[in-house]
């Protein structure tokens, strides 16, 4: 399919959404037929992609992979490297998924890139088949064209058949693995870990964050099979939280050197493990003054958009978090306890219907004064009524996130928590005129 050269941003995104978009499908089982990464790799090479030309860090797992990706890119960039960052999902614009030197891909480059990919769809192999394949191809080609020093690549879903897994061996990271996307990846932690561990490849390096005993057993088996020596990041770098406030955390970081106390805008005790992973990987890229500068400047003032992201808004203080499983809800609950002790908190919640709504809400319940339930724009979304039925106690149902935010604000809470999905966080950002 060929396209005219005058695509607008809206038209470019609409074109990409015209393909199969598994982010909107709640029940499917990936197979080599639906997720043929060898075919995708061949198409990408036909477009000029050269595997291995750009050094990469491939980041998978269940919880924290987005935070580790964003923080690592900041540290490497602050250390003087030219960086690319590929993450998903986005909050407000698809351009956020592809970043060069910390900035979303320019609109002109995005539109031209989409046109380039559209032209590829006349190839004998039928071209790129899904929205995510298109975005992955666009990111990989842009990073190569920009000659970045390193590209940080977040896995979309799973690992084995994810489009990003066309990457050759390199540095790969597994964040903590827990139950999520069970209808897609498997019903046990062992099955999910086995799928995600496929990003660990012979000839590369395996950086591992703390894991449950079940996940650890599976991951170490993969490391042995691929002749990889695992690097446990929390053993290489020690991170101590010195102080927790409503604005963030002061962290003491010590790895190959003592980086001292660093003031960040990161909330939650779990950020210590994320920072330990980031610094461990940074130490494999940087040295000397560049390393010291990268860690200190990269982490100073750092926050991760949409992930325990506290903002001052027109409706008061709002905490945005796109977490959507019980493990992430427990991390949010601990952050509320540590950073907002005694606060009266109202929660605006919207989730996909295939998530563990009951477990998620139960984890938050002790810290929330009132729940406000709503339906997101996703076809996968649970209704507000569905969430209300699965809540440990009654809550209020609203038509849309704006109405939910306004209702919460009228009660004058100390904090409004917006959580349950990144789509909801993005909708809240737009309603509140916030930048990601």
Give the whole-angstrom CA distance, residue 173 versus residue 72: 11
What is the pLDDT, as a whole number, of residue 333?
96
Q: What is the DSSP secondary-structure string of 28-45?
A: ----TTTS-HHHHHHHHH
Query: Exposed/middle/buried for 60, CB within 10 Å: 0-12, 13-18, 19+?
Result: buried
Helix (H) or strand (E) holding 294: helix 288-299
Distances (CA, A) of 404 to 2, 83, 375, 399, 416: 43, 38, 10, 7, 10
pLDDT one digit per residue (tens) for the chain, 436 residues: 444 556 899 999 999 998 888 777 666 666 766 778 999 999 999 999 999 999 999 999 998 999 999 999 999 999 999 999 999 999 999 999 999 999 999 999 999 999 988 887 654 446 678 999 999 999 999 999 999 999 999 999 889 999 999 999 999 999 999 876 555 566 799 999 999 999 999 999 999 999 999 999 999 999 999 999 999 999 999 999 999 999 999 999 999 999 999 999 999 999 999 999 999 999 999 999 999 999 999 999 999 999 999 999 999 999 999 988 998 899 999 999 999 999 999 999 999 998 999 999 999 999 999 999 999 988 889 999 999 999 998 899 999 999 999 999 999 999 999 999 999 999 999 999 999 8
CB 325 within 8 A of CB 97: no
Query: What's the predicted TM-score (pTM) here?
Result: 0.93
Going along the chain from its start, the domains and CATH numbers come out as 9-299 (3.40.1190.10), 309-431 (3.90.190.20)
Residue with tokens 């005058």: 6
Q: Which residue has the tokens 């970043």?
A: 99
Would you state the pLDDT for residue 127? Answer: 62
Residue 349 tokens, joined = 């919640």
- 377-427 residue pLDDT tens: 888 899 999 999 999 988 999 999 999 999 999 999 999 999 999 999 999
């Amino acid at each position: 399919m060929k396209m005219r050269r005058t695509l607008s941003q809206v038209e470019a995104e609409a074109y990409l959404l015209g393909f199969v978009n598994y982010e909107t499908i709640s029940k499917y089982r990936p197979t080599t037929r639906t997720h043929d990464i060898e075919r995708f790799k061949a198409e990408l090479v036909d477009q000029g992609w050269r595997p291995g030309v750009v050094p990469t860090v491939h980041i998978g797992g269940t919880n924290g992979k987005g935070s580790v990706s964003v923080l690592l890119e900041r540290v490497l960039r602050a250390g003087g490297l030219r960086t690319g960052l590929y993450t998903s999902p986005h909050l407000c614009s698809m351009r956020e998924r592809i970043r060069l030197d910390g900035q979303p891909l320019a609109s002109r480059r995005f539109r031209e890139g989409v046109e380039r990919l559209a032209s590829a769809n006349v190839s004998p192999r039928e071209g790129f088949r899904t929205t995510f394949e298109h975005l992955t191809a666009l990111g990989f080609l842009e990073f190569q064209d920009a000659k970045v020093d390193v590209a940080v690549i977040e896995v979309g879903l799973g690992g084995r058949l994810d489009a990003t897994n066309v990457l050759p061996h390199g540095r790969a990271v597994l964040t903590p693995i827990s139950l999520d996307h069970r209808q897609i990846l498997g019903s046990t932690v062992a099955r999910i870990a086995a799928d995600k561990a496929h990003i660990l490849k012979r000839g590369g390096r395996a950086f591992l964050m703390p894991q449950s005993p079940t996940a650890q057993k599976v991951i170490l088996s993969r490391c042995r099979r691929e002749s990889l020596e695992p690097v446990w990041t929390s053993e290489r770098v020690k991170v101590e939280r010195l102080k927790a406030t409503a604005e963030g955390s002061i962290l003491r970081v010590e790895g190959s050197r003592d980086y001292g106390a660093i003031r960040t805008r990161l909330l939650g005790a779990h950020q210590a493990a994320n920072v330990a992973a980031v610094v461990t990987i940074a130490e494999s890229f940087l040295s000397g003054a560049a390393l010291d500068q990268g860690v200190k400047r990269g982490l100073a003032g750092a926050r991760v958009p949409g992930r325990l992201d506290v903002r001052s808004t027109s409706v008061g203080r709002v905490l945005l978090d796109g977490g959507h499983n019980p493990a992430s809800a427990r991390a949010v609950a601990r952050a509320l306890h540590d950073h907002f002790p005694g606060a009266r908190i109202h929660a605006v919640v919207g989730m996909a219907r295939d998530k563990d709504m009951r477990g998620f809400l139960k984890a938050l319940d002790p810290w929330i004064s009132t729940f406000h339930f709503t339906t997101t724009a996703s076809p996968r979304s649970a209704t507000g009524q569905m969430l209300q039925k699965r809540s440990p106690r009654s809550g209020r149902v609203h038509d849309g996130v704006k109405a939910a935010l306004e209702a919460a604000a009228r009660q004058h809470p100390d904090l409004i928590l917006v959580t349950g999905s990144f789509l909801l966080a993005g909708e809240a950002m737009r309603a509140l005129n916030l930048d990601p």
